[in-house]
Amino acid sequence: MQCADVREFADSFLSGELQTETIHQMLRHLETCPWCRAEIAARRALRAQLKGAFDRDQDLQVEPAFLAAMRARLHAGAARPAVPRTSRFGGWRSLAAAALIVATLSGALRWRSWSASVELAAAAVGDHRNCAVHFRLAERPITLEDAALRYDPSFRAFAHEPPAEIPTTVGPARVLERHVCLYAGHRFAHIVFEYRGRRVSLVATPVGRSLGQLLSWRTASPVATRADDLAVVSLRAGRHAVFFAGDVSDAEMKALANAVAGPLSRALSGT
Amino acid sequence: MSGESRDHDVWARFEAEALPHADRLFRLAMWFERNRAAAEDAVQETMLKALQSFHRFQPGTNCRAWLVAILQHVLSNRRRAARRSLLVDDVDDRIAAATPFVPAPTQHLTDEELLAALRKLPESFQAVVLLSDVEELTYKEIAAALMIPLGTVMSRLHRGRALLRAEIGKSKMFTTREAGHHAVR
């Protein structure tokens, strides 16, 4: 083997990709050739430095908060697999359950407002399922600030309210992330909590003047029910319809909603 | 085994074997995307796909190589969606074919100089060099991850490393000249 051959095979040699016979020929050459030994040593050092440089570069380091949020989201998705395809009536059941929420909430509504409310509540539950639990949205979520600039300034209020940690009567809820996502035609402020060991969502959307007037939500007090095996609590805050949804008990969900409702209503009242 | 305990078992295996590689995947994604939000999206999408198809992962094989292959597919799809074709084209291969032998540098290099030199390579060459020298994937694993023939991996690696050494040589020459210039002044 000549020096030119060694240079040709040097990198494959360092990667352990050469056949045994070729390795032996190289080693025999290296024993007698200080120039090729130096070349191999320099390439090995360059490779080691490249790996080190890549690992040390600050711009390439991952945020621990991102890893934690991703792990939690994946875990929630793994623990609660998608509705089996055989469950053809899942969507219908969910809609019927959501209808119950709104009917409970709003009492004797006119048909138009009832229909709109049902659709909104079902979308809120769907958003929780698809965004917070399964992470399968057609459109990528955007930041609250982006949504405030592009769609409705009221989204900005959700950047600080509720706060990062909320004490409730049954234990704390911690905010994992905040964003705005689009689901079933509704743009929701979406806040994901870690609460009672589960992933729980607050989804809120400005309902607009006309729908707001149609909906006979006269109270900001949270009203709880269940939909699609989830605890769901609905309330009004400012001109926003707010829903809490998650796989916890009704009492636990109501405790969270009670802790959030007052300050959130005040934060949204001026928007 | 009940569905719930099977899910728990899959998660436990995924958490033990796949999740620890998330930080390395992020570094690769960040290198190519050059945008933290886009890199986080790509890694999250990769991990979600990996979890959904974890039953296809063969225990005992290189989990990181399997994840890197998924990440490369995710990045490739995103580039296609953004109409940025980053697959190696003929121009890159012509550049590579014209690269002469370049000795490895012996002067001291800073990390910044080295990464800046790597950035100057065509992106397809960066990919093979990174997957081989940083991620320590085998040629076969790189071929699977980038969906290119084994021979192409070998030729791009050979040329990519030569180009990298040439870029380092150029930057060191520049630095030496600068230093000399300042010394004279």
DSSP state of B88: -
Residues of A in Cβ contact (< 8 Å) with B136: 51
Residues of B in Cβ contact (< 8 Å) with A75: 11, 15
The pLDDT assigned to A67 comes to: 87
The pLDDT assigned to A250 comes to: 87
Secondary structure element (H or E) that encloses residue B162, with its range: helix B150-184
B31-83 pLDDT, tens digit per residue, is: 998 888 888 889 988 998 899 888 888 888 899 999 999 999 988 887 776 65
Q: Is residue B8 less than 8 Å (CB to CB) from chain A?
A: yes
A76 → chain B, closest CA residue: B11
DSSP state of A229: T
Tokens 């909320």 locate to A166
Nearest to A51 among B23, B47, B134 (CB): B134
Nearest CA to A223 out of A258, A185, A247, A193 is that of A258
The pLDDT assigned to A76 comes to: 75
Q: Is residue A79 less than 8 Å (CB to CB) from chain B?
A: yes
Find out whether A215 and A116 touch, Cβ atoms under 8 Å: yes
pLDDT band at B120 (very low <50, low <70, confident <90, very high): very high
Residues of B in Cβ contact (< 8 Å) with A46: 104-105, 109, 114, 164-165, 168
A100-147 pLDDT, tens digit per residue, is: 444 444 333 333 444 456 667 777 887 887 787 766 666 678 889 888
Tokens representing B184 are 């004279």
Residues of chain A with pLDDT under 70: 77-119, 134-139, 208-221, 271
Residues of B in Cβ contact (< 8 Å) with A67: 22-23
Q: Is residue B157 less than 8 Å (CB to CB) from chain A?
A: yes
Mutate to test the interface with B, among A40, A66, A131 (most CBs of B within 10 A): A66
Nearest to B11 among A57, A79, A135 (CB): A79
DSSP state of A216: -
A:90-149 residues touching chain B, CB 8 A cutoff: 135, 140
Angle formed at CA A139 by CA A135 and CA A142, multiple of 5 degrees: 90
> DSSP H helical segments within chain A, as ranges?
3-14, 20-32, 34-56, 64-79, 90-106, 111-127, 144-150, 208-214, 250-269
Q: Read out DSSP for A57-74?
A: -GGGPPPHHHHHHHHHHH
d(CA B156, CA B93): 8
Find out whether B115 and A54 touch, Cβ atoms under 8 Å: yes
